[in-house]
């Protein structure tokens, strides 16, 4: 579940073996945020996602990466530095059919909090308007409204009216609502310890979405592997060659292993991540 706290960044992505993704939808000021499930509040800068360290089994199993990183100091988005009123940042987030926005004073909340109105546009269409007020549950000034956002990549414009204490502000933010599924498998399901191996990856649109994903996939540099990439072909497929880190201590018995594969997304299709699990076997005796 997404936290409603004001966090920097894009959102995180849920991860599963057969289908994984840019998940969890965290909010944003200037970043791109995958939409997920759970409560949510505005976020102000990009927050990369990290997958958890799974306890692998011989068969694939879904896993969920953390949804956000610790807050950082955002860049002000108020409209005029010559204005004597206090500058603010604007944030937005979408999850579970609810769009949340917030006005974040630069330097923190000191004295009276922001009031006024907050408009949200996608292109020329006004999709929401809220009266800015303090939310004691979330601990920030902003508002929420119900909205259905179609799967895909969206850019929203945020406009805050300002008030007697705070400057008007304008900002944009990108929000991803997952529209792909990713499957990946290792031929045979076994890997010889200390040797390179291949992963067959297929990136496809979810039901009801047209087109073929383009771009690249890459394995993460964890679990003792170096990071390598491969480009999708015209069918959204790629074969990724994975190489182990040098100097691994030999093993004498089979053990389970796992690797994360990330799809980077393109202009139409959202990033997503998949976890592949397999069995390591000892290298043959020299």
Q: Is 188 helix (H, G, I), strand (E, B) or coil?
A: helix
For the four alpha carbons of 211, 216, 219 and 225, in that order, the dihedral sign comes to positive
Residues 143 and 215 in one domain: no
Q: Has this prediction a pTM greater than 0.75?
A: no
Residues 269 and 230 in one domain: yes
Tokens at residue 225, please? 């592997």
- The rounded Cα 154 to chain-centroid distance in angstroms is 13
pLDDT in tens, the chain (286 residues): 333 443 333 333 333 333 333 333 233 333 344 554 334 445 443 233 333 333 333 333 333 333 333 333 344 455 555 788 999 999 999 999 999 999 999 988 778 899 999 999 999 999 999 999 998 888 889 999 999 999 999 999 999 999 999 999 999 999 999 999 999 999 999 999 999 999 999 999 999 999 999 999 999 987 789 999 999 999 999 999 999 998 888 999 999 999 999 999 999 999 999 999 999 999 988 7
CATH number for the domain harbouring residue 196: 2.60.40.1940
Residue 8 lies inside a defined structural domain of this protein:
no
pLDDT at residue 35 in the model: 52
Residue 5 lies inside a defined structural domain of this protein:
no
**Final residue of a structural domain among 142, 177, 212:** 177
Residues 196 and 162 in one domain: no
pLDDT at residue 78 in the model: 59
Question: Comparing C-alpha atoms, which of 53, 55, 54, 50 is closest to residue 65?
Answer: 50
Residues 106 and 246 in one domain: no
Let me know: does 21 contact 34? Beta carbons within 8 Å: yes
Let me know: does 79 contact 169? Beta carbons within 8 Å: yes
**Final residue of a structural domain among 177, 212, 227:** 177
Question: Comparing C-alpha atoms, which of 163, 195, 186 is closest to residue 17?
Answer: 186
Helix, strand, coil percentages for the chain (3-state, nearest 5): 0, 45, 55
Strands 255-263 and 216-219: antiparallel
Let me know: does 227 contact 242? Beta carbons within 8 Å: no
Residues 165 and 245 in one domain: no
Residue 286 lies inside a defined structural domain of this protein:
no
Residue 137 lies inside a defined structural domain of this protein:
yes
Question: Comparing C-alpha atoms, which of 180, 154, 159 is closest to residue 169?
Answer: 159
Residue 125 lies inside a defined structural domain of this protein:
yes
CB-based burial label for 208 (10 Å; 0-12, 13-18, 19+): exposed
How far apart CA 168 and CA 109 sit, in angstroms, is 16
**Final residue of a structural domain among 153, 177, 201:** 177
pLDDT at residue 81 in the model: 56
Tokens at residue 272, please? 């997503």
Q: What are phi and psi of 188, to 5 degrees?
A: 85, -20
Q: Which domain does 198 fall in, by range?
A: 180-281
Residue 160 lies inside a defined structural domain of this protein:
yes
Question: Comparing C-alpha atoms, which of 69, 68, 154, 138 is closest to residue 100?
Answer: 138
How far apart CA 51 and CA 14 sit, in angstroms, is 9
How far apart CA 262 and CA 2 sit, in angstroms, is 21
Tokens at residue 198, please? 């291949």
Residues 195 and 147 in one domain: no
Residue 3 lies inside a defined structural domain of this protein:
no
CA distances to 4, 23, 77, 255 from 45, rounded to whole Å, are: 14, 17, 12, 40
Residues 274 and 137 in one domain: no
Residues 75 and 160 in one domain: yes
Residue 126 lies inside a defined structural domain of this protein:
yes
Question: What's the structural domain count of the chain?
Answer: 2
Residues 33 and 137 in one domain: yes
pLDDT at residue 16 in the model: 37
Residue at token pair 């929203």: 156
Residues 107 and 230 in one domain: no
Residues 159 and 107 in one domain: yes
Strands 197-205 and 117-122: unpaired
Residues 209 and 225 in one domain: yes
pLDDT at residue 111 in the model: 83
């Amino acid at each position: 579940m997404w936290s409603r706290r004001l966090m920097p960044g894009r959102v995180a992505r849920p991860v599963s073996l057969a289908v994984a993704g840019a998940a969890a939808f965290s909010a944003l000021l200037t970043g791109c945020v995958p939409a997920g499930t759970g409560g949510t509040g505005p976020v102000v800068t990009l927050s990369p996602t990290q997958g958890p360290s799974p306890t692998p089994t011989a068969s694939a199993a879904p896993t969920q990466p953390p949804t956000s990183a610790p807050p950082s100091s955002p860049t002000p988005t108020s409209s005029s530095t010559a204005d004597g009123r206090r500058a603010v940042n604007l944030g937005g987030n979408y999850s579970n059919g609810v769009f949340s926005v917030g006005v974040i004073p630069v330097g923190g909340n000191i004295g009276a909090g922001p009031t006024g109105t907050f408009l949200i546009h996608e292109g020329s269409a006004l999709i929401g308007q809220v009266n800015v007020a303090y939310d004691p549950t979330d601990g920030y000034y902003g508002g929420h409204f119900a909205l259905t956002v179609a799967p895909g990549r969206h850019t929203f414009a945020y406009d805050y009216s300002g008030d007697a204490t705070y400057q008007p502000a304008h900002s944009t933010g990108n929000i991803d609502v997952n529209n792909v599924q990713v499957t990946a498998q290792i031929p045979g399901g076994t890997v010889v310890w200390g040797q390179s191996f291949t992963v067959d990856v297929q990136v496809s649109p979810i039901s009801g979405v047209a087109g073929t994903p383009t771009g690249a996939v890459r394995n993460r540099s964890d679990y003792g592997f170096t990071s390598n990439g491969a480009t999708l072909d015209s069918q959204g497929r790629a074969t990724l060659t994975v190489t182990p880190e040098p100097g691994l201590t030999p093993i004498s018995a089979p053990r389970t292993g796992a690797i994360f594969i990330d799809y980077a997304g393109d202009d139409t299709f959202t990033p997503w991540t998949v976890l592949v699990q397999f069995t390591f076997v000892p290298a043959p005796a020299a």
